[in-house]
Structure 1
Amino acid sequence: MGYTIGNIYVITTVAVIGGALFGFDIASMSAILGTQQYRCFFNQTGVNDKNECGGPTSSTQGGISAAMPGGSFIGALISGILTDWLGRKTSIQVGSVIWCIGSAISCSSFSIGQLVVGRFINGLSVGILSAQVPVYVAELAQPSKRGTVVGAQQWAITWGILIMFYISYGSSFLDGPSAWRLPWGLQMVPAVFLFFMVFIMPESPRWLAKHDRWEEAHEVLALVHAKGDHNDAFVQTELQEIRDMVEFERQNADASYLDLFKPNMIYRTHIGMFTQIWSQLTGMNVMMLYITYVFGMAGLSGNANLVASSIQYVINVVMTIFALIFIDRWGRRVPLLIGSTLMMTWMFANAGIMASYGKPAPPGGLNNTAEQSWDLSAAPSAAKGVIACTYLFVASFAPTWGPVSWIYPPELYPLRLRGKAVAVSTASNWIFNFALSYFVPPAFENIKWKVYLVFGVFCFAMTVHVFFAFPETAGKTLEDVDTMFNTPGLKAWKTKVEFQHVRKLETGAIQSEKLAALHEERVGSVDKEATAPVSKTEV
């Protein structure tokens, strides 16, 4: 085996470029759909008295936006079969190639149909990568670092959003179709980098073990967890746990998607699926994708709208850092509960402000945009309140549901089902992303500020669901999590983070404690024998 990266943080940095691709798509569409270059090229609604193009109809724009998550839904489902067959690394490379194909079609589009096809193919890539990158890094990471490295997927998404938004913003000053062709072409560059870097990254040791490549599995565990020391105590312990799990699972039938819905697995399946469903129903991606509509209703237009929109992307990047640092100590349950409660607050606040101080926009919407159907321009303070609540919403999502929605699902399932299970969980994310991308533009047009009420109610529902149904998985090996779910009478609200326990396991302290206890027991036995009274029989 040639040179292979062994540092888990470097491995993660490369792998989560797959998450950044999703961020690129969100930001480019958010920044581009409000530009006149895009709206005039794909114009369906005519030109107003200011010679401004109306762009695609709200339903068409919903379809263009929804094409990507629609493809991601299919890609996520395919990824479960792909990753079990080809491995985690090769699946990531396949996703990179598909992304380049989709981007090439999108940036060369001459019709709405071609753009939809390109975005759908991009979606296939994002579906594969968003499902399997978390599985890959989760199976490589030490338990005490698993939350940080899997959560880096979300941080990469936020960086992708931020970088591509500013590239798209800069491109908006170009004339004609170049304003949107350039950013959609440039987004191929990181995918090419990811494809070639994967060649020098290790394969998942658990996937190798599943395919009886035990020497390679041992090599990877030693490389990533002990700088090449094959005899390290934690490496030996983890290798044995993986061996026990593989042998146990082979006593069962081969894994299939149907196994996820059998009585012994349906509980975990529903938790994984709803983690991803609820992350969409928070309304975060709606905020990101259609933020220019929201700020347009708050009275901003043109460059002022784009700059104000970009601030939330900066907030998203910065606030996610807290999760990367503390998520393995915070656990999974507490961030989810706090995050959904805060987001519910900001959603209801936005609804109340808009209902109290706004008024319906003129026919055709503000700035010749039907989706900007509510007018707050006459109440500047209220408009600032909406913008502030939107920023606070993003700040609440970024360290909570954002990273945890990617961290949690790969931790829930046994090895034989993990690839397929995370594929189904991620597919749930994408089908709801698809529905919301299509639903939100007409919703803003028809029910106006009440859109915020809908998402506020969803945030309340997810708070209740998490409290009663989502057990804590932080501070446990993946094999320990499997044992926890097989414990009768499991009550989610009584589970807790076991960070210190798992740190002792990784450093060998637990093995040392066991040896010390055995030594103390032996010494105690000798002392007792030495001080025992001599019986008459012995005399």
Structure 2
Amino acid sequence: MPKITNQYALAALACTGGILFGFDISSMSLILGLNSWNSFFGNITENGVTRVDANLQAGITASMPAGSALGAIISGLFSDRFGRKGAIMAACCFWLIGSILCAASQAVAMLIVGRIINGICVGIASAQVPVYLSELAQPKIRGRLVGFQQWAITWGICIFYYVSYGCSFIGGSASLNTAQFRVPWALQTIPALGLMALLPFMPESPRYLASKNRWDEALEVLADVHAKGNKENALVLAEFKEIQTNIEEENSSSWAELFSGRYLNRTHIVVFTQIWAQLTGMNVMMYYISYVMEMAGYTGNIGLISSSIQYVINVLMTVPALIFLDKWGRRPTLMIGSILMATFLYINAAILATKGHGLNSGFNGNDAVRWIINEDAHSAGVALIAMTYLFVASFASTWGPVSWVYPPELFPNRLRAKSNSVSTLGNWLFNFALAYFVPPSFKNIQWKTYIVFAVFCTVMTVHVFLAFPETKNLSLEEVEEVFAAKLPAWKTRAATKNNRLASLADKIERGEDHGQATKGNLGYTEAPLTAVDSPELEDKKETA
């Protein structure tokens, strides 16, 4: 059977789950303003116009992240029992069922059920695809490959926004033809079908195989993905030895262990990585960008096209992170991103507070928009949109990719699937809460909504500085030793300057490694290696 072994091709395929999540975000953001949507699912009528009110819209939008929270919970069970590939296949099946229900929905209840099932897919994929890629990737490009998850989300958002925009003209832009939203929901099954067809040709995670004592297969995957099939490659042997060391020291895992004294700190870090990513307010910009455009005075096709620009920015500005994240490191990327986002959110709040005014009823029939820029302050509207674009660019190059890269790096193999389930659960619970919170928030506290998210961005900057250790350039096994050393988070960057895996590979290449995991012999009985070659780290370990 043919095999797909190129790391970048595997990342592109595995991240199809991210594309599907992006599809949902952009389709909802455009569909919200369609007459056909409001007429078919509307629950209130004013002045002869039927529309969906803010509370119902919040509930419909939030149903998908609610399903994703459920998917995140069960994803660890799927992944540990059936493998990373098995979990991804299950996710695709859920997506097909949910999309069919959405496209055929005849009532709000049917639509919500379909979106919940779609959400289960996204929850499983968003939790286990980063695990799969982090366990396949070479340490030097792990951040880049796992960051493809976020890039896939941005591509999904951008592509499907334009697909939905094109479908909005079916029968004419003012038409009540339900094909305007049914066709996009049917088309979103295509990527899932493509991934299901190609999954059999993709390798299983070598660390999952090792955890099931399938050592020959684990070595074969490492060789195929990292060395074009060469099982004698020194780096392959070095990584295989590291995996053996880690696996042989591990016992069976339990969910309760994530909250034990040894791992509680790590659990809090991975959960807050995902929670903070939501509390930046980015998904507010994605789901409800049409609201922001209306506040700035942009409606109709001008508003739709202006909204699409931020999706293009989202795609383009994720690229610098993919290229440089493994050089910049996780900590500085997160802190710079949150500082920039806080700045732009504070500015937007100030613009709206000083150059806008409140409304007694929803603007342009939109019940959630109760605050708009003054008619004589066109430049303020332009500034509001400009700050929104800069906010999106800041998220796309920082918290967007890092929130997927960082959590699966922090736990040992036996707990990785479970820990990523818990961290991703945090993501989707807050995604659900915010999707439901934002329309009523814009309606009731108007511009102060921006202040809420700006404060969150300020607080997360401090939290990252105090609690988040650096992990760049380390193998997944070496990260364990960084935590064992109990260094303050702001001092862990020194531990990433030396690559022990490369040093071990050099020793194997020269025949100087005295363990048995050398060329021609893959047995292993040697005691675990010493800590990362950092004098500060070594001293700290001795006193710990």
Q: Same fold (TM over 0.5)?
A: yes
The Cα offsets for residues 212-267 of structure 1, whole Å up to 9 and x where unpaired, read as 000000000000111111011111111111111111013xxx21111100000000
Alignment of 1:141 onto 2:137: yes
1:445 to 433, 439, 443: 443
CA contact (8 A) 2:62 2:433 kept: yes
Q: Which residue of 2 aligns with 1:371?
A: 368
Aligned partner (choices 59, 63, 84) of residue 63 of structure 1? 59
Q: Give distance in 2, aligned partners of 1:434 and 1:346.
A: 24
Whether the aligned pair in 2 keeps the contact of 1:18 and 1:129 (CA below 8 Å) is: yes
305, 308, 314: which one aligns with 1:307 = 305
AA at the equivalent of 1:63: G
CA contact (8 A) 1:329 1:497 kept: no
2-structure distance, mates of 1:43, 1:495: 54
| Match of residue 119 from structure 2 | 123
CA change 1:365–1:245 in 2 (3 A) is same
* TM-aligned CA deviation for residue 372 of structure 1: 1.0
| Whole-Å separation in 1 of the counterparts to 2:275 and 2:103 | 30
1:75–1:506: structure 2 CA closer, same or farther, 3 Å change rule? farther
Number of aligned positions between the proteins: 507
What letter is aligned with 1:62? A
1:526 alignment counterpart: none
* Equivalent residue letter for 2:502: L
How has the CA–CA distance of structure 1 residues 417 and 460 changed in structure 2, closer, same or farther, with 3 Å as cutoff?
Answer: same
**Which residue number corresponds to residue 23 of structure 1?**
22
Which sections of structure 2, spanning at least 5 residues, go unmatched? 172-176, 514-544
Q: Distance in 2 between matches of 1:447 and 1:476?
A: 45
Verify the 8 A CA contact 1:144 1:502 in the aligned structure 2.
no
Deviation at 1:501, TM superposition (A): 3.5
| Residue identity in the other structure for 1:491 | P
Distance 1:329 1:498 in 2: 14
2:536 maps to: none
Q: Which residue number in structure 2 is paired with residue 100 of structure 1?
A: 96
In the TM superposition, residue 435 of structure 1 has moved relative to its aligned partner by: 0.3
Q: 1:373 to 1:95 in 2, by over 3 A?
A: same
Query: Would the alpha carbon gap of residues 386 and 507 (structure 1) be closer, same or farther in structure 2, given more than 3 Å must change?
Result: farther
Counterpart amino acid of residue 344 in structure 1 = A
In 2: Cα distance, 1:19 partner to 1:369 partner: 30
Cα distance per residue 1:11-54 (max 9 Å; x no partner): 11100011111000000000111111111111112143xx643x
The code of the aligned residue for 1:385 comes to A
In structure 1, C-alpha distance between the alignment counterparts of 2:379 and 2:6, rounded to whole Å: 50
In the other structure, the counterpart of 2:540 is none
What amino acid is the match of 2:481?
T
Query: Aligned ranges for residues 35-434 of structure 1 at < 5 Å?
Result: 35-48=34-47, 52-53=49-50, 55-175=51-171, 176-250=177-251, 254-361=252-359, 363-378=360-375, 379-434=377-432
Between the aligned partners of 1:506 and 1:5, the Cα distance in structure 2 is: 29
Matched to 1:45, the amino acid is I
Whole-Å separation in 1 of the counterparts to 2:170 and 2:421 = 40
Give the equivalent residue in structure 2 for 1:32: 31
Does the 8 A contact of 1:17 with 1:191 survive in 2?
yes
Q: Secondary structure at the match of 1:471?
A: coil
Amino acid corresponding to residue 238 of structure 2 in structure 1: T
Deviation at 1:377, TM superposition (A): 4.2
**Closer, same or farther: CA 184–491 of 1 in aligned 2, 3 Å:** same
Write the distance in 1 (CA, Å) between the matches of 2:43 and 2:374.
27
Amino acid at match of 1:263: G
In structure 2, how many angstroms separate the alpha carbons of the residues matched to 1:503 and 1:311? Answer: 44
Identity of aligned residues (%): 52
Distance 1:8 1:318, change over 3 A: same
Give the whole-Å Cα distance in 2 for the aligned partners of 1:350 and 1:453: 9
- Identify the range of structure 1 (232-241 vs 469-478) with the bigger mean alpha-carbon deviation: 232-241
Q: Judge conservation of contact 1:19–1:130 (CA < 8 Å) in 2.
A: yes
Q: Distance in 2 between matches of 1:302 and 1:238?
A: 56
Rounded Cα–Cα distance in structure 2 between residues aligned with 1:136 and 1:102: 24
- What is the aligned partner in structure 2 of residue 527 from structure 1? none
CA RMSD of aligned residues (A): 1.6
TM-score with structure 1 setting the length: 0.92
Q: Does 1:495 align with 2:492?
A: yes
Residue 368 (structure 1) shift? 1.0
What SS does structure 2 have at the residue aligned with 1:147? helix
Of residues 34-43 and 271-280 in structure 1, the stretch that sits farther from structure 2 once superposed is: 34-43
Residue identity in the other structure for 1:426: T
The structure that has the greater radius of gyration is 1
Mapped partners of 2:490, 2:222: distance in 1: 33
Per-residue CA deviation, residues 256-283 of structure 1 (Å, 9 max, x unaligned), is: 1111000000000000000000000000
* In 2, Cα distance between equivalents of 1:509 and 1:242: 17
Judge conservation of contact 2:470–2:496 (CA < 8 Å) in 1. no
Query: Does residue 475 of structure 2 align to residue 456 of structure 1?
Result: no
- Of the structure 1 ranges 372-381 and 76-85, higher mean CA displacement relative to structure 2 is found in 372-381
Aligned with 2:45: secondary structure? coil
- Check 1:508–1:451 CA distance in 2 against 1; reply closer, same or farther (3 A cut): same
SS of the residue corresponding to residue 298 of structure 2 reads: coil
Contact residue 330 and residue 497 of structure 1 kept, 8 A: no
Q: Match of 1:359, SS? A: strand
Q: CA deviation at 1:315?
A: 0.2
Tell me the distance in 2 between the aligned counterparts of 1:407 and 1:106. 31
Q: Tell me, yes or no, if the aligned pair for 1:107 and 1:182 is still in contact at 8 Å.
A: yes
Counterpart amino acid of residue 208 in structure 2: W
Instruction: After TM superposition, give the deviation of residue 502 of structure 1 in Å.
Output: 3.2
CA distance in 2, matches of 1:338, 1:52: 46
Instruction: Quickly say closer, same or farther: Cα 1:136–1:506, change in 2 above 3 A.
Output: farther
The answer to whether the 8 Å contact 2:238/2:508 transfers is no
Distance 1:514 1:357, change over 3 A: farther
Q: 1:504 to 1:241 in 2, by over 3 A?
A: closer
Q: Give, in whole Å, the separation in 1 of the partners of 2:307 and 2:423.
A: 30
Aligned residues of 2:68 and 2:122 also touching (Cα < 8 A): yes
Q: Indicate conservation of the 8 Å contact 1:234/1:506, yes or no.
A: no
Q: Secondary structure at the match of 1:375?
A: strand
Per-residue deviation at 1:364?
Answer: 2.2
